[in-house]
Amino acid sequence: MTEVTDRISRRQVDKFAERRSQLATSALRTLSELGYARTSLREIAQNSEFSHGVLHYYFRDKVELITHCVRQYKAECVTRYDEIVVTATTAEGLRADFAEALATTCREDASMHRLWYDLRNQALFEESFRKDVLEIDQTLELMIWRVVTTYADLAGKPLAVTPSTAYGLLDGLFTQALLRHLAGVPGATEELSAAAHQTLPKLLQP
């Protein structure tokens, strides 16, 4: 008896979660295209296969929807450069691969990243976003830290910066390149690659 209802309710819960995720994906697509300020629930619904009312069936309000989107987005980011870390055999190889991967991400995932920066900025104003944003930021910092520590190990030199400094520095390069790339400045992503390539060794002790 309880087994059956459990199975049912679990299936329903799964379906519920699945649809939430599906709607969040539509929302992320819309948000990355329009930005937080110009994205409405009706617009999100129009970019999905449902009507606008359904959003309030799966999400309490707009904040919960956006929050769910942010959490879902996070899952994509975490492992972005892990393969590079795992397959790296030399410091020089890792350095080149990472620099190139940054540039590629900036080129091909520009819309998603401008959304991340947009939401991170909303957290500067709206308190309700801060917890999730800081959590993602921490995850990204750890992701960069995995790259940097592996690089240091392979180079056989100790690191000269803290995790947050390493992340802040590289994130600054990325932000700048993203702006220029989206503004149509030629060579923006190549310069990002070069700058990252140039910066990595500076994080090590001389």
> What sign for the dihedral angle of Cα 157, 160, 163, 167?
negative
For residue 57, the partner it binds in its own copies, DNA, none, with Cβ less than 5 to 8 A by kind, is DNA
Q: Which does 56 bind (CB under 5 to 8 A by kind): DNA, its own copies, none?
A: DNA
Given 6, 10, 15, 198, the residue binding DNA (CB under 7 A): 15
Q: Which two tokens stand for residue 148?
A: 């940097």
Q: Max CA-CA distance within the chain? A: 68
95 near its own copies, rule: CB under 8 A: no
Partner touching 172 among DNA, its own copies, none, CB below 5 to 8 Å by kind: its own copies
Copy the structure tokens of residue 147: 């790259």
CA pair distance 9, 14, nearest whole angstrom: 8
Burial of 6 (0-12, 13-18, 19+ CB in 10 A): exposed
Contact positions vs its own copies (CB under 8 A): 34-38, 114, 117-118, 120-126, 130, 133-134, 137, 160-162, 164-165, 167-173, 175-180, 182-183, 191, 195, 198-199, 202-203, 206
